[in-house]
Chains A and B, each alone.
Chain A
Amino acid sequence: MDVKIRKGVNIKLKGTAEKLYADSVPCTDVVLKPTDFPGLRPKLSVKVGDKVKAGSTVFYDKDNDVVKFTSPISGEVVEINRGEKRKVLEIRIKSDGANQFETFKQGDPGSMSREDVISNLLNSGVWPFIRQRPFDVVANPADTPKSIHVTALDTAPLAPDYGFIVHGQGAVLQAGLDALAKLTDGKVHLNINGNANADEAFTSAKNVQINKISGPHPAGNVGIQVHHIDPVNKGEVVWVLNALDVLTIGRLFKEGQFDASRSIVVCGSKVNAPKYCKTVLGARVADLVKDGVEEGGRFISGNPLSGTQVAADGHLSFYDYQLTVLPEGGEDRFFGWLPYLGFNGFSLSRTAFSFMSPNKERDLDTNMNGEERAFVVTGEYEKVFPMDIYPVYLLKSMVTSDIDLMEKLGVYEVAPEDFALCEYSCTSKIQTQKIVREALDLVKKETT
């Protein structure tokens, strides 16, 4: 199936990574952040000083204790950071360099039963890579999804090229896709890049329906793809992943262990030589950039639109394959709001001449460029929101916590990341992703 996304925009930023791997760096420590999983109430299984192997359970979901979160490396738990009300924020594991693994079931997932596949995914801690629509949370293993969608392209600014990373790993990818095929009665959709030639590892995948997705960001968001291929209705569940996570699943079945190594991209205008980098889940930012960044940068785990800010000595998040370093803002700008002045910044709207050179790479900082206001301008979100949903009406129903209306307007189909471009282009500087996340949490709490 071919899907053409027409609405949306690619924001071109300086600091695109070269398609080269930097020298690998030894991983000193990793961090697991329960806050990466919206709505999760973690229950720790380790305490400071415990030795763990890669694949040993570190914490699990208090509301659904089969969903486990395991250590990506072998080593020792050295620190558990807690916030208000003793909420667990971070669990830091120091590497022992020995690379010991817990062993899990190995073999062709195609010949295993559905129960075996699920328990293997759950026990190894690979399960949380599978997320669901509605609500954009970790999938519930008790559900049977109507279909599973794997996105094989990331269209966000400076995003990694999945083809480059997956290249040559077709067999591992296939093992992962075979495992996913066991989980649903419906189809597994592999949504590949229709803008350029997709890598052979994707095009030769079997046991899946291959869909070609073309168009600007957010075409790579799996939620957008689901909406156009097989939309989620009330009461239905769809599971979603990205192709790089499928590699981890594939390795579990090929090798029988939780191999959390991954290739990520280090990018952004503050990085001297943006490149790809082989590392591990939850890696330390300082290990990745060493001294290859300029002063005054903001470190973002993920892309500039939906990533999370991390400290210079922080760590990457569970789902992120991108470390972006952008210039930090903070300067008041003299008459910064005047239209049609070149130094007054890049705009998608036609109130600055930058709209005439959409392909020029920009060096954007983290300024809000204005103050928060009520909704005034109309038609702005619709330009970058490629779903058959009225985004402003949905957001207003979210702000007023009107669950009935949210259901009618399509709350089950959206995730915060789908609203990232709306938030970027918003004249009134409204925090749409935050509104969506809080509304999804509310609906989940009230309806399940």
Chain B
Amino acid sequence: MKALQRLMEKTKPKKDGKFPLLYTIWDGTYTFFFVPGHTNKNGVHIRDSVDLKRTMIVVVMALIPCLLFGMYNVGHQHFLATGLVSGANHVCDMFMDKFLFGAMKVLPLVIVSYAAGLGVEFIFATVKKHAIHEGFLVTGMLIPLIMPVGIPLWMVAVATIFAVVVGKEVFGGTGMNVLNVALVTRAFLFFAYPTKMSGNQVWVDTNLESGQQLVDGFSGATPLGNAVEGGVDAIPSLMDSIIGFIPGSIGETSVIAIGLGALLLVASGIGSLRIMLSMFVGGFLMGWIFNQVGEPGSYLAVPALHQLMLGGFAFGAVFMATDPVTAAQTSKGKIVYGILIGILAILIRVANPAYPEGVMLAILIGNVCAPLIDHVVVNGNIKKRLKRVKTA
């Protein structure tokens, strides 16, 4: 540790030398290994040990169950499609094979997302002459988890670069963005390359080796994709959609894995329980209304609770809507914000035949509305203060 410190000090490039980018990268690496011993000069003399790096890494830790499950499920779906395993009763067969297969598919996505995003961040940090900020630690992990496994790597790279530049850096970097950066990535791909982001071809890896063939009746569609096309019967049971051995974006399928992450986020106080709960309440409300008016057997009539367990709803509620920068910031605002997203997510999902999933768009709309919601809440406080003058 001392030796590492000495080595780092020795290799330290000059800040205003020929290659300022080198210094930014060095500084980013050094502060990753060592929290610099800056002391408080004015103001408070003691400081809490929490910092942005720690906050971000807790969120990344919370994403690990989803990542691991996602890897396994990618393998599982592939082997189901090729008939090497059959049926949900055999989820544990060929455990290591599935996991390794999934890891081979998912890890490149993780690496590309981090490499592209951090590359942009380092360049911007150098140009703007500030230290690298930690925001992308979480974004870089979120991006692969909301992708279909069949997405080409170059698309992920392009979309990530687009999202970090247009979604974040033009607004001033970490802490200043209006929209959730990971969702901007997904939205970009969704509208730029729709064939790779929706439909039946992308959710399950169907690259066959010689001699293999897809099993009869394989569809590859997500439950919601099926439902939109009228195949309500094809929606897996509530239990299956909670456990998550179904096709979908890599990290979104298992409510249990998401729940583990949510537990850490709530226990550490970093994720807002208020937003998560109110989003579920909003979604349940909308789902219940549809359930009441829909004819039995139609998509409208899918039970509300079941709606919440399908697609990206749980993942969005726990990891996306709670992004503190883009969410509402006041306590009251967070509740309105959560409910709004919940309602919109189910509304878009069920009422719009073009989009089998509505969570992404709902959260982006929520992001846009968040400042307005806060404005109303803060105005309430201002009015209260003015009223005090009048009554006094």
A contact residues vs B (CB 8 Å cutoff): 11, 13, 157, 231, 233-234, 298, 300, 304-309, 324, 326, 328-339, 344-352, 354, 364-371, 373-379, 382, 388-390, 392-393, 408-410, 420, 423-429, 431-434
Contacts and interface: CB of A to CB of B under 8 A. Distances in A.
B10 interface: no
A234 B41 CA distance: 33
Contacts of A369: 35, 47-51
Given A300-B45, A351-B270, A423-B44, A339 B58 contact: yes
Interface in B13-43: 31, 33-43
Q: Name the residue among B42, B47, B172 with the largest chain A CB count within 10 angstroms.
A: B47
Contact of B31 (A371, A389, A408): A371
Contact of A420 (B1, B34, B44, B133): B44
For the complex of A and B, 5 pairs with smallest distance between CB atoms = A370-B51, A345-B49, A374-B175, A336-B35, A337-B53
A423 B4 CA distance: 32
Interface stretch (B190-198, B325-333, B358-366): B325-333
Interface in B52-109: 52-55, 57-58, 61
Contact of A306 (B5, B44, B175, B176): B44
Interface stretch (B144-152, B279-287, B379-387): B379-387
B376 interface: no
Interface residues of B, number: 60
Nearest to B5: A332
Contacts of A308: 42
B268 A390 contact: no
Contacts of B36: 332, 371
B53 A377 contact: no
B55 A376 contact: yes
Contact of A367 (B31, B38, B43, B55): B38
Given A339-B268, A349-B269, A408-B382, 18 more contacts: A233-B392, A298-B45, A309-B41, A333-B34, A335-B33, A337-B53, A339-B57, A345-B48, A347-B50, A350-B269, A351-B50, A366-B46, A368-B47, A370-B53, A374-B133, A376-B324, A378-B324, A425-B50
10 contacts: A13-B46, A326-B46, A336-B34, A337-B54, A347-B48, A367-B37, A367-B40, A368-B47, A370-B47, A378-B329
A368 B268 contact: no
Contacts of A371: 31, 36, 38, 51, 131
B267 interface: yes
Contact of B385 (A300, A351, A410): A410
A344 B54 CA distance: 11
B48 A426 contact: yes
A434 to B, nearest CB: 6
Contacts of B5: 332, 334
B303 interface: no
B382 to A, nearest CB: 4
Interface of B: 1, 4-5, 31, 33-55, 57-58, 61, 131, 133-135, 172-176, 267-270, 272, 324-325, 327, 329-331, 374, 378, 381-382, 384-386, 388-389, 392
Given A334-B33, A347-B50, A370-B35, A307 B268 contact: no
Contacts of A345: 48-49
Contacts of A351: 50, 54-55, 58, 268-270
SS class, residues of chain B in contact with chain A = loop
Given A334-B1, A374-B176, A346 B44 contact: no
Given A307-B45, A369-B47, A374 B37 contact: no
Nearest to A434: B43
B46 A11 contact: yes
A424 B270 CA distance: 17
B58 A368 contact: no
Q: Name the residue among B1, B31, B48, B378 with the largest chain A CB count within 10 angstroms.
A: B48
B51 A429 contact: yes
Q: Name the residue among B36, B134, B174, B374 with the largest chain A CB count within 10 angstroms.
A: B36
Given A336-B35, A364-B46, A234 B389 contact: yes
B58 A333 contact: no
Contact of A392 (B51, B174, B329): B329
Contacts of B327: 378
Given A337-B53, A431-B42, A382 B331 contact: yes
SS class, residues of chain A in contact with chain B = loop
B382 A368 contact: no
B176 A390 contact: no
B333 to A, nearest CB: 10
Contacts of B33: 334-335
Nearest to B57: A339
Contact of A330 (B39, B133, B134, B384): B39
B34 A431 contact: no
Contact of B44 (A349, A377, A379, A424): A424
A332 B43 contact: no
Contacts of B54: 337-339, 351, 370
Contacts of B378: 390, 393, 409
B1 A376 contact: no
Given A351-B50, A371-B36, A366 B324 contact: no
Nearest to B392: A233
A429 to B, nearest CB: 7
A365 B330 CA distance: 32
Contacts of B45: 298, 300, 304-305, 307, 309, 324, 326, 366
B96 to A, nearest CB: 29
A367 B324 CA distance: 26
A335 B40 CA distance: 20
B35 A366 contact: no
Contacts of A332: 5, 34-37
A378 B175 CA distance: 11
A54 to B, nearest CB: 31
B38 A368 contact: yes
Q: Name the residue among B40, B57, B327, B392 with the largest chain A CB count within 10 angstroms.
A: B40
A329 B162 CA distance: 41
Contact of B40 (A13, A349, A368): A368
B343 to A, nearest CB: 22
B47 A429 contact: yes
Contacts of A366: 39-40, 45-47
A427 B329 contact: no
Contacts of A324: 45
B27 to A, nearest CB: 10
Nearest to B133: A373
A331 B37 contact: yes
Contacts of A410: 385
Nearest to B389: A233
Q: Name the residue among A308, A329, A337, A432 with the largest chain B CB count within 10 angstroms.
A: A337
A351 to B, nearest CB: 5
Nearest to A432: B43
A9 to B, nearest CB: 10
Contact of B382 (A307, A335, A354, A409): A409
Nearest to A364: B46
A11 B324 CA distance: 26
Contacts of A334: 1, 4-5, 33-34
A409 B381 contact: yes
A333 B175 contact: no
Contacts of B382: 408-409
Nearest to A11: B46
Contacts of B268: 339, 349-351
A434 B61 CA distance: 34
A348 B268 CA distance: 11
Contact of A347 (B4, B41, B49, B329): B49
